[in-house]
Amino acid sequence: MFVPKFTISQKLLKNVGVIEASRELILNSPLIPAWEAKFRREALEKTVHHGTHLEGNQLTFEQAQGVLDGQEIIARDRDVQEVINYRNVMRFIDEIASRIGSGRKYYLTLETILEVHRLAVDRVLPEDHAGKFRDKQVVLKNSQTGQVSYTPPPAAEVPYLVEDLLSWINGEDSKDLHPVLKAGIIHYELSRIHPFTDGNGRAARAIATLVMFLEGYDIRKFFSLEEYFDNSPMDYYVTLQAVSNQLVMDNRERDLSPWLEYFVEGVAIQLNNTKERVKKISVDARVKDRLGEQVALNERQMVIMEYLNRNKAMQNKDFRKMFPDYSDDTVLRELKFLKQKGLIKKIGGTKKASYVLAG
């Protein structure tokens, strides 16, 4: 039976503490509804872009945004389809998490894993490979040297290894494990088994995300772990492979500690970054205490508030760079609205006017 081996180090404990503190603040910070929608949309865009870019997708972030917005993008059909597919994967796991409910008892099924993979490679792999285990041996090679970097288990063992993992996920042994550690273990083991001919990374990350969602760690869907991985893909792949290539006689002796330290640190970094953004525009801190009510801001107004949170002041030259497609009159109307609501104030004369957050 699958039993993960790892050590609870000081580094793990420290980052779990960061995760818990960030989670608590994010979950309990009331936000203007438009900000909440913006955060979720941005997190989805980052997850889809970085989750596919990490595995060779050539679309830029802006192009991926265009695909998600339904625009026609001039690019490889495969790249466009991969972005659409991963968006569908995220919708699927969100639907499952919403249906079961956060923090409630759940059973992760083989059918769910296979469906995640099918959605991830729809129209990218042949139909007889989508949502089906590989039936042959594969190897992972260094793209530059051509050397074999990792050899996954034989295809005949894949169904049994996945069932063994599912038994552990749904069993008593994992029940009291911290959800982020559990997600990291699932990500690693699915990557090690490499159950599919292609799309293993996307499937592993999606299933790990689903488990975090199901165990109450969706954290308002404000963060993207894929962004952390894609910021330094070499660290991601090297850490995974270093653990998988450990020379052990029994898979149960493989030490997952280096991978888990890396994975948990990534969650901590992304959540801490999200926490800092939430703090800056929290209703308690910026709006609700001053106005006594929530105010729905439009997209341009949100951009202005976020800019002022980061840069303290804004002049006419700044908003012309921010909104090149809008007239000065349009932007001035937005500034006037924010000024009337007591959220910002104007300093100086007309020609050298600056706008800052209201004190």
- Per-residue three-class SS string for 261-300: HHHHHHHHHHHHHHHHHHHHHCHHHHHHHHHCCCCCCCHH
Model confidence, pTM: 0.82
Q: Which amino acid is at 12?
A: L
What are 78-85's contacts with CB under 8 Å, separation 24+?
A: 78/124, 79/52, 81/122, 81/123, 81/124, 82/52, 82/57, 82/124, 83/48, 83/49, 83/52, 83/57, 83/59, 85/119, 85/120, 85/121, 85/122, 85/123, 85/124
What is the separation of C-alpha 165 from the centre of its chain, rounded to a whole number of angstroms?
Answer: 23
Q: Which domains does the chain have, with CATH numbers?
A: 10-281 (1.10.3290.10), 297-357 (1.10.10.10)
What pLDDT does 283 receive?
A: 46
Q: Which amino acid is at 159?
A: P
Helix (H) or strand (E) holding 313: strand 313-315
Tokens at 144, concatenated: 């530059």
CA dist., res. 339 & res. 357, Å (int)? 9
CA dist., res. 80 & res. 115, Å (int)? 20
What pLDDT does 244 receive?
A: 92
Angle at 310 between CA 307 and CA 311, to 5 degrees: 80
CA dist., res. 358 & res. 286, Å (int)? 9
Helix (H) or strand (E) holding 162: helix 158-170
Beta carbons of 110 and 160 less than 8 angstroms apart: no
Tokens at 160, concatenated: 């049994």
Beta carbons of 344 and 331 less than 8 angstroms apart: no
Beta carbons of 75 and 59 less than 8 angstroms apart: yes
For the chain of 359 residues, list the mean pLDDT of each consecutive stretch of 10. Answer: 94 97 89 80 96 96 96 96 98 94 88 98 96 95 84 96 97 95 98 97 98 94 95 96 89 93 98 87 54 67 80 85 87 90 84 83
